[in-house]
Structure 1
Amino acid sequence: MTSLYVREITREEHLAHLRRSPDVSHLQIPEWGGVKPDWLPESIGWFEGEPTGGATGDVMVAAALVLYRPMPGTRRYLAYLPDGPAIDWRAPRLERWLDPLVAHLERIGAFSVRIGPPLVVRHWDPATVAAGLADPGVRHLRELPPAGIDGYALDAAERLRRLGWRPCEEDDDSGDGSGYSSGFGLGQPRYGCHIPLAGRSEDDLRDALAPHWEQALRTSESADITVSWVSDYDLPEFHRLYTATAAHDGFKARPLDYFQRMWQALNAEDDDRLRLYVAEYENEVLSGALMINVGSRAWHSYPASGRRGRQLRPSSALLWRMLCDALASGAETYDLRSITPALTGDRLVGRLHFKTGAGGRAVEYLGEWERPVGSQGRMLQRALGVYLGRR
């Protein structure tokens, strides 16, 4: 079996690879590096052969985006590959892919590596989730029978453990439980929601709506809610709704310039990477959301709504229009992003009800994993945890 090595690649090389293999997360395209100014981005590639002074003739078989965050007061970095890398996770020898990655990151100065294997371990059909929500005795998705379990993903988890990786949700062993990821804004959701689009028609999608969702959509249609695909000129109005949503749901809102930077970065190479949709009633914007398009997937991101006009169900009209547009553009999956796995006692249960009612299946990812690098890796992980615990 041919060995692999990892080296830095140019943005153009990365984009060329994505044109051949486009189905990666939007967090793994080179444009995403421009969205995160506090991180240092690097595009890397896996090549078959042996590194010989930066050979250019070897074949690139995979690519990834790495985000580096410096450890305060040092020249060492935390290296993060969100929703990645997009390698052959079903390969019998994961070390063939991961060891060259760690070796490259160690040369750069990483003291810790964090990855997010893009693998779904379990999924649950919408009807199963609805039954769980209606049963007060069921408190968590894991208590429901899954519609499918991916044995390859479970096997990947065991192989990661044998190679020295550990799940990030496990407590760190610094003794104080402070961890370190939250201070860097890390962490992709462990549970998500997907609406399959491949091979389906708009009528199929409508027939799959839960009764409460169909009624909400009819309400918005009767009220003549208008949904439009708009431009970055409307980002300030969207941000107004987004900050209201943040205040209501209790999370910290990102500033307007974050979304303006996202628009510029993601649409730099392809002006259809990022779309903004708004739902209006009598010329007043009531709801909005972003759609990110990469390969065969569309992501429903940063949904926002105000308190006015909720009885008209503008969010249902908004999602339905975006879902139909994604279907028409050839997307095979509509990703509704994060959900809570808790079926009772969680303030986000309403979102779970909304997303699965739209026909989304609940999914559990393999989660994020980390590994210390070098002789000082574990010590620096602990030091960073202490530092952030005092901030």
Structure 2
Amino acid sequence: MPMVDVHDEAAMTRYTEFVRNSPYAQACQDPAWSQVKNNWQPFYFFLEEDGAILAAMSVLTITAAKGKKLAYANRGPVCDPRDVQLVKRMFDEAESYLQKTEDIFLLRCDPEVLNDPQLQAAYEKAGFIVRNSEKEPHATIQPRMNMRLDTAGQTEEELLAGFHSKTRYNIRLAARKGVEVSWSQSEEAVKAFYDTHEIMSTRQGITHRPLEYFQRVMAAFGDNARIYLATYEGEVLSGALCLSYGTCTWYMYGGSTNSHRNLMPNYLMQWEMIKWGLERGTRWYDFGGIFEIDETDGLYKFKRGFVGEDNVTAYIGELDRVYDDAAYQEYLNK
């Protein structure tokens, strides 16, 4: 059974090294992610050939419907998602264990691969349910559409030149008016960021994660995680949690207060995080998800100013393998 024994240090090291060094590396597939999602139970599966790992899949399970468990490989598996048969083999391996021991009703993944009709048809032919309805943009766990900036081979000056003129103006305005951006990994910085995140969530009428969640992210990912804070005359105006992993630097969470918003601190803060990605040598800067292209949505317009109108990335959505139809329908209807 190609499942990693979490108590076998050598096996976990081998698995983790493959996941982190793969060209398909994803932070949410790293074993460290289980420290963040600490109320889920982790399992780690892999395929190998001639002693070399070909593919891996980190799966988290939680009871979700009719007393049965959801098994979720967030942004997995770690392999070429266009290789449908390899993904199917990876699912077969995980299923052979989880269906027997964990009483799962669903095994799901949502790889970061662009959608196209041929790929979707191939997954459906392989026995997957593909969920990506544009009529229900909030129906998937992760947003299907992300806004990503391709920084490959570009200098800071070249990237700036590619931003919308208003975005460049706001970056420079913030710096000219005295906004300062710094980063830290300290507990004090996490709390300062959390305050901005809480204020922003209240202002927009949305829910937010507790402070402990962000503390776990920072503890789990170490030097790959930073808190960025934009300040003016010593007052924190905005904050962000940024994660750099594999080929991507990811603006994971953000927040802002209600003070001095005219100073455009978020623009300068984003620019400093983009520059960190350049320092790290990652190809992509990921501004995070959007659920729909909406010109009246301020967040969409903000991100569009950095990546342009043509850089909305629509992924294939969720790939489901279902083992209990009644539990699956109950889960979808929640």
Whether TM exceeds 0.5 here: the answer is yes
Deviation sequence 1:179-233 (CA, Å, 0-9, x none): xx98xxx711101011111100011011111111111112102112110011232
Q: Does the CA contact (< 8 Å) of 2:243 and 2:249 recur in 1?
A: yes
Secondary structure at the residue paired with 1:189?
coil
Deviation sequence 1:225-253 (CA, Å, 0-9, x none): 11001123211111111011111122111
In structure 1, what residue type is equivalent to 2:42?
A: P
Residue 189, structure 1, aligned to residue 183, structure 2: no
Q: Whole-Å Cα distance in 2 between the matches of residues 170 and 91 of structure 1?
A: 23
Secondary structure at the residue paired with 1:245?
helix
How does 1:25-104 map onto structure 2 within 5 Å? 25-48=26-49, 58-71=51-64, 74=67, 76-91=68-83, 93-94=85-86, 95-104=88-97
Q: Whole-Å Cα distance in 2 between the matches of residues 340 and 73 of structure 1?
A: 29
How does 1:71-150 map onto structure 2 within 5 Å? 71=64, 74=67, 76-91=68-83, 93-94=85-86, 95-109=88-102, 110-121=104-115
Q: What is residue 9 of structure 2 aligned with on the other side?
A: none
**How far off its partner does 1:18 sit?**
2.8
Structure 1: segments with no counterpart, 5+ residues? 49-56, 122-152, 172-176
**How far off its partner does 1:98 sit?**
3.4
In structure 1, what residue type is equivalent to 2:82?
A: R
Aligned match for 2:320, one of 348, 364, 370: 370
Q: What is residue 308 of structure 1 aligned with on the other side?
A: 259
Relative to structure 1, the CA distance from residue 92 to residue 362 in structure 2 (aligned partners, 3 Å threshold; closer, same or farther) is: closer
Residue 207, structure 1, aligned to residue 161, structure 2: yes
Q: What is residue 21 of structure 1 aligned with on the other side?
A: 22
In structure 1, what residue type is equivalent to 2:195?
A: R
**How far off its partner does 1:319 sit?**
0.5
Q: What is residue 298 of structure 2 aligned with on the other side?
A: 350
Q: Whole-Å Cα distance in 2 between the matches of residues 385 and 208 of structure 1?
A: 41
Provide the TM-score with structure 2 as the length reference: 0.88
Q: What is residue 218 of structure 2 aligned with on the other side?
A: 263
Q: Whole-Å Cα distance in 2 between the matches of residues 221 and 315 of structure 1?
A: 11
Residue 359, structure 1, aligned to residue 334, structure 2: no
Secondary structure at the residue paired with 2:56?
strand
Residues paired across the two proteins, number = 322
Q: Does the CA contact (< 8 Å) of 2:65 and 2:327 recur in 1?
A: no
Q: Whole-Å Cα distance in 2 between the matches of residues 372 and 61 of structure 1?
A: 25
Secondary structure at the residue paired with 1:98?
helix
**How far off its partner does 1:13 sit?**
2.5
Aligned match for 1:222, one of 165, 169, 176: 176
Aligned match for 1:328, one of 279, 282, 291: 279
Provide the TM-score with structure 1 as the length reference: 0.76
RMSD: 2.4
Q: Whole-Å Cα distance in 2 between the matches of residues 359 and 342 of structure 1?
A: 13
How does 1:134-173 map onto structure 2 within 5 Å? 153-169=116-132
In structure 1, what residue type is equivalent to 2:284?
A: T
Q: Whole-Å Cα distance in 1 between the matches of residues 274 and 284 of structure 2?
A: 10
Structure 2: segments with no counterpart, 5+ residues? 7-11
